[in-house]
Structure 1
Amino acid sequence: MKCSAILLSGLLIGAVSSAYAEADEIRIISRAEWGGKPPKKTPTPLPGTLLYAIISHTASVACATKLECSKIVRTIQTMHMEGNRWDDIGYNFLVGGDGNIYEGRGWDVQGAHTFNYNKKSIGLSFIGTFSTAVPSNKQLAAAQNLLETGMKMGKLMDSYKLLGHRQVSETLSPGDELYKIIQTWPHWSEKYQVLLPDTSGAIAASKIKKMTFDRIVVLELIVAVLHVSGTLGDDILSKSNQYPHTIDSQSVTIISRGDWGAKTSTTPLTRLSETPLSYVIISHTAFLPCTTKDECSSKVRDIQNIHMTVNKWDDIGYNFLVGGDGNIYEGRGWDMTGAHTIGYNSRSIGVSFIGTFETVVPSDEQLKAAKSLLESGVKDGKLTADYKLLGHRQVRDTASPGDKLYEIIKTWTHWSAEP
């Protein structure tokens, strides 16, 4: 084993050993150093020495430099605070591919990473997606060193239990490959206390069901935020029809799947059974916006990748995405069932604005492109003349499409207060 030193904002705070260690030093990058925003309100302290450490992954692209990792951590914080409406970034710490630890809520503040374990654990999330890939030795060493330091500092019990996120939450996190690795670590525990919610008061059986639903919503947001994770019908589009050429007109430009670099769906997609459709669902991706075709195409490719590899969906979930460059990006298109809104996928078109619109508004070009797309849908017989336009939050327990965008679409002709 090789001995490593941990630094917090440049100060040596402890020395630990790790079988994965590749460097003599490892640093904890403070919130100020990675550019974190202050929490919305006074944090809740954690009680004493903790029994649990929960390992997750961010289900995002990986990072290899401090600059890249800091940008991803800032994006996660924005999603957690604006998309999820949490007080701060949810994790206590994040582990970068650069071998650095990124301070989230830290050792002493209650996190928002694992329902019913937040008060009893430290949440440690690996930056990246580890369903088929493995973290670097530097990343693994940094995580082990942090946990050993936590014991030495009295933050974790000497007998603490290490758990994968999937053991205590309905999720694929931390990914198959990372989960295999942490099962070999000394503190990993197959047996742990199942912490059930209090069903005597506010959290009743219906609330438990809602919380399960929330986790699905959070995963969907993570998929879209972190830039980077159907059944076969009788009438399937041919490949040539499914991926048309880029369409240019005076009103709207649709960037085809081939143009933005889409992967082929894992199975043929199911054609929508009823047309024209009577619903349109507007969401936002809860991520940073894009302003050029190259930027937007890259974001759409990452969303598709996470939808297919982490969510195990057949393809990207949205029918269309609206870029800040004023272009429409084809997802599943007009004729295929989406995977964007439970209960509405087979009878609606899902249109997602690329960006986070909780406190900012989309560009005029983005709004114009979305309205032009919907107008063309009516003209082409894809949408009924009296279709209903709904915000994602009206039919799912989510903050999407963000307060600012929601206020805007409520002024559009087809918006309906009632689904």
Structure 2
Amino acid sequence: MKYLFKLLFAMLIFLPFLILSQCLNGPEIADDYQFKDRWSYIVIHHSGRGKDTLNSIDRYHKEVKHWDGIGYHFIIGNGINTEDGKTEMTARYKQAKDGAHALTVDNFYNKNALGLCLIGNFNKSNPTIKQKNSLIKLVRELQELYEIPIKNILFHSDTKATECPGKNFPKKEILDRLTNKILKYKLEQ
């Protein structure tokens, strides 16, 4: 009986995260009211390297930056070492931990913003169509779940002096699509 209770308890704790991780194009965000008020901003980044993966970023953040793991909450692949447009949820999101992606003096954005990172260096290249489509889908799901207004969708360069997410990142297109100013867009190349 004690074993059954532990099993049921574990299922209740981990079931929301299992549900979150199931989707054709990465994690599907499920309604988890436990963290409903946890996030009020979204900050969009690029990884700075085209060959990155969730694991390589996690390793870099642990071994070089000496952080407790990957600083972002979600990663979107570019088709090189991770499937193009694949959205991956990190342990940081699953554990509802502060980010380590947008340091400011008061640490406001790390405490209050979800960090979304597209793999690539958008000073040298452009995000793929699938990456952009996945980003729009993910941001909309997070906006709905956490009631995040469009004015709180930021790019890393909005929070500090940095080029991230890169000079080739289509900020206007992304914001226009999020506000439905662009009604039609290509789903495939």
Shorter-normalised TM range = 0.5 to 0.7
- 2:174 equivalent in structure 1: 182
Match for 1:171 among 151, 162, 171? 162
The whole-number CA distance in structure 2 between the counterparts of 1:156 and 1:175 is 27
In structure 1, runs of 5+ residues without a counterpart are: 1-6, 13-24, 30-44, 63-68, 188-419
Is 1:106 paired with 2:98? no
The whole-number CA distance in structure 1 between the counterparts of 2:133 and 2:139 is 10
Structure ID, larger Rg: 1
Is 1:95 paired with 2:76? yes
Is 1:60 paired with 2:49? yes
Match for 2:137 among 141, 145, 158? 145
Match for 2:126 among 125, 134, 138? 134
Please state which structure has a larger fraction of its residues in strand: 1
What is the deviation of 1:183? 4.5
Give 2:102's aligned amino acid.
T
- 2:65 equivalent in structure 1: 84
The whole-number CA distance in structure 2 between the counterparts of 1:121 and 1:160 is 13
Secondary structure, in 3 states, of the residue corresponding to 2:163? Answer: coil
Per-residue CA deviations over 1:105-157 (Å, capped at 9, x if unaligned) read 116221100012111111001101111421111111111111111133x2342
- 1:329 equivalent in structure 2: none
What is the deviation of 1:186? 3.3
Q: Cα–Cα, structure 1 residues 101 and 168, in superposed 2: closer, same or farther, change >3 Å?
A: same
Q: Is the 8 A contact 1:50 1:160 kept in 2?
A: no
Q: Cα–Cα, structure 1 residues 47 and 150, in superposed 2: closer, same or farther, change >3 Å?
A: closer
Match for 1:125 among 117, 128, 147? 117
The alignment's TM-score, normalised by the length of structure 1, stands at 0.32
What is the deviation of 1:47? 7.7
Per-residue CA deviations over 1:55-101 (Å, capped at 9, x if unaligned) read 11000015xxxxxx6xx221111111111110111001111121111
Higher relative CO (Cα under 8 Å, sequence separation at least 6) belongs to: 2
The whole-number CA distance in structure 2 between the counterparts of 1:50 and 1:96 is 23
Q: Percentage identity across aligned positions?
A: 28
- In the alignment of these two chains, the number of paired residues is 144
Please state which structure has a larger fraction of its residues in helix: 2
RMSD: 2.6
The whole-number CA distance in structure 2 between the counterparts of 1:146 and 1:171 is 24
Q: Cα–Cα, structure 1 residues 178 and 159, in superposed 2: closer, same or farther, change >3 Å?
A: closer
Give 1:26's aligned amino acid.
N
